[in-house]
Amino acid sequence: MTRAVLTLNAGSSSLKVALFPAAGDAPLATGIADRIGPEGVLKLVDTAGAPIAAAGDLSGHEGAMAAVIAAFRARWPGLDLLAIGHRVVHGGPDRQVPVTVDAGVLADLEGLSPFAPLHQPHNLAGIRAAMAAFPGVPQVACFDTAFHRGHPFVHDTFALPRALYDEGVRRYGFHGLSYQFIAGELAMRAPALAAGRVVVAHLGNGASMCAISAGRSVASTMGFSALDGLPMGTRTGQVDPGVLLYLMDQKGMTAAQISDLLYRRSGFLGLSGLSNDMRTLEAAGTPAAEEAIGYFIARCQREVAALAADMGGIDALVFCGGIGENSRRIRAGVAGGLAWMGLGLDPDRNAANARCISPDDAKVPVLVIPTNEELVIARAARVAVGLG
């Protein structure tokens, strides 16, 4: 019998999965059900990267869940699922730790959907599908907002009437599972840096940065929603609210049209007119693609400096996420433009994707640490059932 915990990250048309043993950090399998619907595709691989045969009804999340489990059970007969951990984008203003989901918790999380309309409903759909498929198996919700709940008031609010803050209109911050993993890795591998002031840049199709002082989140570039801060694949990042008023008053755009613009048609895609994928932009060489890359780098530089100011200085910069872990150009652009802050970059180390890409004598080290949100979720699921 194989005793294991399953992690799920449910999106609007995808279901990312990882199967972990009851103990240990190496997953037994990882994969994704992509383009859930008539053209759904399921890809699973084992810990060695070998494909795991998988097929089934991918017309909805429930079918995708059943197909994943059928494939895992065929590979590991007698599979015993001890718990299922879920990434949930929004936990609200009070939740600071993962929770085991029951009907009451699920109702509370549904009430937060207006705060994350493009993420929360799909996360909860994944939980419902897992509950239906595995009644009695503990479902553990892990929140992207939880890591940021200790922010001081000045980094938790907007200059709006206080009643709105009390109603929940505040800066929540996201990507918390990624930042929690990086903080833990630093504590193990570079405890002196972990005890100091670190800016972590989670750069990918979704992008943000976090100021972490002595292992705790101090400030984040993302605020009320996952739109704020850095430009992303299709999301705007920071934008003057007056632009939104202009679009409503002068262009006659509805809330739904503005939402589509901000979430799906802006960012790298909107600036370049070409793609939301940084790899495509770097290869394209068109003027618009180069401008999109330049804008992203400039905004990253600004946010690193701002977060350093929030901590009264910076002792290390850490890159993670798909772009942060793989784009030599972006890392060089960001770190190279911040030499005045003491950041240094070694071109050879950067080209080799080394763990440390700064010179040995750099005042502020620059590191590349692959993130692992799934492992954070798996560890939380183990704790929930008494294995941690």
Active site residue ranges: 144
Contact 197, 186 (CB under 8 A): no
**Side-chain-facing half-sphere of 229: CA atoms under 13 Å:** 30
Rounded distance between C-alpha atoms, residue 352 and residue 128, angstroms: 43
Structure tokens at 221: 């570039």
In angstroms and rounded to an integer, the radius of gyration of the C-alpha atoms of the chain is 21
Nearest to 379 by CA among 39, 125, 21: 21
Sheet holding 208-213, edge to edge: 216-220, 208-213, 197-202, 316-320, 366-368
Rounded distance between C-alpha atoms, residue 200 and residue 368, angstroms: 10
Rounded distance between C-alpha atoms, residue 53 and residue 58, angstroms: 15
